[in-house]
Amino acid sequence: EAGVAQSPRYKIIEKRQSVAFWCNPISGHATLYWYQQILGQGPKLLIQFQNNGVVDDSQLPKDRFSAERLKGVDSTLKIQPAKLEDSAVYLCASSNPGQSYEQYFGPGTRLTVT
Amino acid sequence: SQKIEQNSEALNIQEGKTATLTCNYTNYSPAYLQWYRQDPGRGPVFLLLIRENEKEKRKERLKVTFDTTLKQSLFHITASQPADSATYLCALDTNSGYALNFGKGTSLLVTP
């Protein structure tokens, strides 16, 4: 089966600009996650969707970050305006908790804010 | 709040030896704990899950133990190979849905 797809793989922007990331989860996975991974750290949850509803966005900086999962499949994560501290890898993951708790991760998008 | 600690320093071992990685946690009683492997430039890959009522889990050369009294999990790779070199992440379930809380990871280097 195809894995989790993410694009772009790399993005360089200047601070105060906006950026969007796209994720296509594994087919049939109802749960989708966005994690932020700063260099040298473990992934940190930003937002979790169950189908097209938000389960947890408590750690999402809502003044600048937004995410949506229209139709319960693909998802986009947007940052506007970006700050230097947003430089990180943004990982998308999906899972099918009805079968297993393991999460399947995409390759990530490496964002550099200058 | 939930806190997870993994070996802060990189672990260097010789090929053929057993690597042991540690994950300690505080302020939480997880229902399960997971271990992931992450290679540079890639997303984490699931390795093993162990539940709170399980003491030990094995998969090929991998073994995980879970001591809920000590609040600790140990991850062992036996007969280690250079291909095992990677960062290994410990993750606990959270109170929110099925999201995970990850440790910082331990970098393992296996030399021939």
Judge whether residue A1 has pLDDT over 70. Answer: no
Distance from CA of B49 to the nearest CA of A (A): 8
What is the SS3 assignment for A49?
Answer: strand
Structural domains of chain B, count? 1
Q: Which of A33, A42, A101 lies closest to B89 in CB terms?
A: A42
Range(s) of the domain holding residue B59 = 3-111
Residue A70 has a pLDDT of 82
CB contact under 8 A, A106 and B43: yes
Q: Give me the total of CB pairs closer than 8 Å, taking one residue from chain A and one from chain B.
A: 65
What is the SS3 assignment for A84?
Answer: helix
Distance from CA of A30 to the nearest CA of B (A): 11
A34, A77 in Cβ contact below 8 A? yes
What is the SS3 assignment for A105?
Answer: strand
CATH fold, domain A5-113, is Immunoglobulin-like (2.60.40)
C-alpha distances out from residue B96 to A47, A55, A57, B9, B109, Å: 11, 7, 10, 30, 34
pLDDT band at A50 (very low <50, low <70, confident <90, very high): very high
Question: What is the per-residue burial (b if ≥16 Cβ within 10 Å, else e) of B33-71?
Answer: bbbbbbeeeebbebbbbbeeeeeebeeeebbbbbeeeeb
Number of neighbouring beta carbons within 10 Å of residue B32: 16
Return the CATH number at B73: 2.60.40.10
Amino acid in position B87 = T
CB contact under 8 A, A56 and B99: yes
Mean pLDDT by groups of 10 residues along chain B of 112 residues = 87 97 93 96 97 95 96 97 98 86 97 96
- Percent of chain A exceeding pLDDT 70 equals 99
Judge whether residue A15 has pLDDT over 80. Answer: yes
- Spans of all domains in chain A: 5-113
What is the SS3 assignment for B47?
Answer: strand
pLDDT band at A72 (very low <50, low <70, confident <90, very high): confident
CB contact under 8 A, B98 and A97: yes
B37, B23 in Cβ contact below 8 A? no
A25 inside 8 A of chain B by CB: no
Cβ-Cβ contacts under 8 Å, B91 against chain A: 42
Number of neighbouring beta carbons within 10 Å of residue A63: 8
CB contact under 8 A, A101 and B101: no
